[in-house]
């Protein structure tokens, strides 16, 4: 990719309307210092310096999309609770609409609290419901998504964290609506619904997810077996593209034509891998809306994922920083 084309791609992100459908959460951070061990149990005592909340789950994908210049719209279900109010306030603070957010009395708002000291995460506390959304809430969610599709969107990201917002029926109906309207669909899956996705533009599991989802033992070092498994899965499910993030082994990409490539991992000073997958799916989605070839989309997404791993906590990619790094390499 030359610099002229890169400029066109990055400029095209501005104004793209992207639906992000899936599980949202509020990420809570407690920052402090450890100077002693508790006399009550062999655990560190954290002296709290500050607390803060950030958008998490599929909302972090939305935050990445916004940081890249697009217009994200989150479609999800939260609880009628204090955490739900905090979540809506976070959307407002980040200048994102809550028009796609449904408040339900049937579940709580997911909160993940991370205890951090000296840039190290000591503990995480999860407050969540993980059962499937009830029928009425799912119906409302599909109707909300349908209304946005009819108004016009450039892509839909399924951001699945196995918390129950996405069910098989909801997935089937939204994919059908998207394909009827020619809307790009990308998927960041988890185990429960792994085999429920089909006929999407791009499916992006990580290595652990594809091994668990397909119940197979594969490794990137065994390239022939890996490629055969990927090709069979792609063809069976009707995906246009399959991308597998491989952690220290890089990223694998395959198109429906059967063309594939292994991309080596970027050497980085890793501080925190939290949210890297959110950055990768955001970047891949926007690159597809810009008309990028799969190879170019993966290359840019690989760099973007590496950049956020250098920062502590779940943070979005910086568009200018990413652009500068890509330019240095072309």
3-state SS assignment for residue 248: helix
Q: How far apart are CA 275 and CA 314, in angstroms?
A: 5
Which tokens belong to 122?
Answer: 């000591």
Residue in the structure block whose two tokens are 């993966």: 298
Q: Report the C-alpha dihedral over residues 230, 231, 232, 238, rounded to 10 degrees.
A: 100
Backbone angles phi, psi at 327, to 5 degrees: -60, -40
Beta strands in 107-258 (DSSP E): 110-117, 120-127, 155-159, 184-188, 202-203, 241-245, 251-255
- Report the relative pairing of strands 44-57 and 202-203 from DSSP bridges: unpaired
CB-neighbour burial class of residue 227 (10 A; exposed 0-12, middle 13-18, buried 19+): middle
Active site residue 278: yes
Q: Which of 132, 160, 188, 278 is catalytic?
A: 278
Please give the positions annotated as active site: 278
């Amino acid at each position: 990719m030359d610099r002229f084309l890169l400029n066109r791609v990055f400029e095209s992100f501005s104004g793209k309307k992207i639906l992000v459908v899936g599980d949202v959460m509020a990420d809570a951070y407690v920052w402090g210092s450890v100077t002693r061990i508790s006399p009550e149990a062999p655990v560190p005592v954290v002296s709290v310096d500050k607390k803060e909340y950030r958008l998490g789950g599929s909302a972090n994908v939305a935050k990445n999309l916004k940081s890249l210049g697009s217009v994200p719209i989150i479609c999800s279900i939260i609880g009628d609770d204090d955490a739900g109010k905090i979540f809506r306030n976070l959307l407002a603070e980040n200048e994102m609409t809550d028009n796609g957010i449904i408040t339900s009395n049937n579940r709580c708002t997911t909160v993940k609290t991370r205890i951090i000291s000296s840039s190290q995460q000591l503990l995480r506390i999860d407050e969540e419901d993980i059962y499937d959304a009830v029928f009425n809430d799912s119906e409302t969610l599909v109707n909300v998504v349908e209304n946005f599709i009819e108004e016009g969107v450039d892509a839909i990201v399924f951001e699945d964290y196995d918390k129950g917002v996405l069910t098989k029926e909801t997935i089937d109906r939204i994919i059908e609506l998207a394909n009827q309207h020619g809307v790009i669909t990308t998927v960041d899956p988890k185990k429960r619904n792994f085999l429920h996705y089909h006929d999407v533009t791009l499916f992006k599991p990580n290595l652990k997810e594809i091994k668990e989802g397909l119940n197979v033992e594969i490794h990137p070092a065994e390239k022939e077996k890996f490629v055969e498994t990927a090709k069979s899965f792609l063809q069976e499910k009707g995906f246009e593209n399959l991308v597998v993030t491989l952690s220290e082994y890089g990223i694998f990409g395959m198109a429906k034509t059967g063309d594939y490539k292994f991309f080596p991992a970027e050497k980085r000073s890793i501080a925190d891998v939290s949210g890297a997958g959110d950055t990768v799916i955001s970047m891949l989605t926007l690159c597809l809306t810009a008309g990028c070839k799969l190879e170019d989309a993966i290359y840019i997404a690989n760099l973007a994922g590496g950049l956020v791993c250098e920062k502590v906590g779940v943070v979005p990619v910086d568009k200018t920083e990413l652009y500068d790094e890509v330019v240095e390499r072309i």
